[in-house]
Amino acid sequence: MIKIQPHPLGCGCLIRKQTMLKEESELKKKNIKMVALDLDGTTFNSAGDISERNTAAIEEAASKGVHVVISTGRSFRSLPDHIKNVEGIEYAITSNGAQVNRVESGEAVYKDCLDREAVKEIARLKDETCADIEVFIHGQAYVDESYYNDVRDNGCAYRNAAYVLWSRKPVPDVSSLMLEHDEEIENVNFVYETLEMLEAARPKVNAIENATITSSFPNNLEVGGPNTSKKTALVWLMKELGIVPDELMCCGDAPNDIKMAELAGIGVAVANAWGGLKDHADYITESNDDDGVGIAIEKFVLKK
């Protein structure tokens, strides 16, 4: 894969600048027919909004017949109106690839749920590792009332509290709910108050059988089905739409975006990407607060 990163000495390094231009020219030769976009930390800025430049680039690409697809760890019901209302976005890959929905109707056209035995192990590990868990069922994320109330009353040091309160539905016992619906679980997030707690729990969570483990922000571990990933869902959708990998561009910021970046003809990491994604990207664009997604679409899809 072609790796493009800004030179630490800046554009004053003529040799590196020439190399970057040559590599960009090779990427620009690709005929991109689908763009898959992660949301948080990528298409959304730090305030959780989408910029005018990102919106304009997405809408222009869609108007030219490019399939624009959301590809996120969020559940479908956690998608805000300001992304669903962007003209031309057809599909949403949600829950890290466990579900594909038509954005306009909300219809689920693809599902890949957790193994029942893995669900039982998650319920056990919740208490053993002192985790808060978020359980995704039919596009809705559920949490314990105690966790919800703590975020409401005390805020949250490691994520947006307003987002949690808006997108999560509190229930008396989320583990019981999960076990009652053990054949319908799209995704489960283990959330830890500190990174030390997460690292202590990581080996136990990673040992869950018939499951995939990833992360979309530093304080969580996300558990999906044995074959669940954004990549797997994209492969299914691309087959439905007649798209081949070399015609795909993906943009992301986190470890749960690595597989789709490897799949794509152009894998793009925003400048604020973490967790090793940059090592798997073909191009590093500007940050999520500096219109990185819009710039990448302009450069490689709209050929501006």
Assess whether 165 and 199 both reside in one domain: yes
Q: Does residue 82 lie in a domain region? A: yes
Query: Is the per-residue pLDDT at 14 higher than 90?
Result: no
Q: Residue written as tokens 């664009």?
A: 285
In sequence order, the 6+-apart residues with CB closer than 8 A to the CB of 35 are 58, 61, 66, 67, 68, 69, 248, 249, 250, 251, 297, 301
Which of the listed residues 224, 257, 275 is the one where a domain comes to its end? 224
- pLDDT digit string, tens, across residues 152-197: 999 999 989 999 999 999 999 999 999 999 999 999 999 999 999 9
Give the ranges where the chain is alpha helix by DSSP (H).
14-28, 52-63, 81-84, 116-128, 145-154, 161-167, 174-180, 195-206, 230-241, 258-263, 292-300
Assess whether 73 and 22 both reside in one domain: yes
- Compute the distance between CA of residue 155 and CA of residue 149 in angstroms, rounded to an integer: 9
How much of the chain exceeds pLDDT 70, in percent? 93
Q: What is the pTM of this model?
A: 0.87
Assess whether 107 and 248 both reside in one domain: yes
Assess whether 258 and 190 both reside in one domain: no
- pLDDT digit string, tens, across residues 92-145: 999 999 999 999 999 999 999 999 999 999 999 999 999 999 999 999 999 999
- Give the CATH number for residue 141: 3.30.1240.10
Assess whether 120 and 162 both reside in one domain: yes
Q: Does residue 194 lie in a domain region? A: yes
- Give the CATH number for residue 24: 3.40.50.1000
- pLDDT digit string, tens, across residues 54-107: 999 999 999 999 999 999 999 999 999 999 999 999 999 999 999 999 999 999
Which of the listed residues 224, 252, 284 is the one where a domain comes to its end? 224
Assess whether 47 and 194 both reside in one domain: no
Residue 1's pLDDT band (cuts 50, 70, 90): very low
* pLDDT on residue 16: 35
Least confident of 12-26, 145-159, 171-185, 271-285: 12-26
Report the mean per-residue pLDDT for the chain. Answer: 92
Which of the listed residues 224, 245, 271 is the one where a domain comes to its end? 224
Residue 278's pLDDT band (cuts 50, 70, 90): very high
How much of the chain exceeds pLDDT 90, in percent? 89
What's the domain range around 133?
116-224
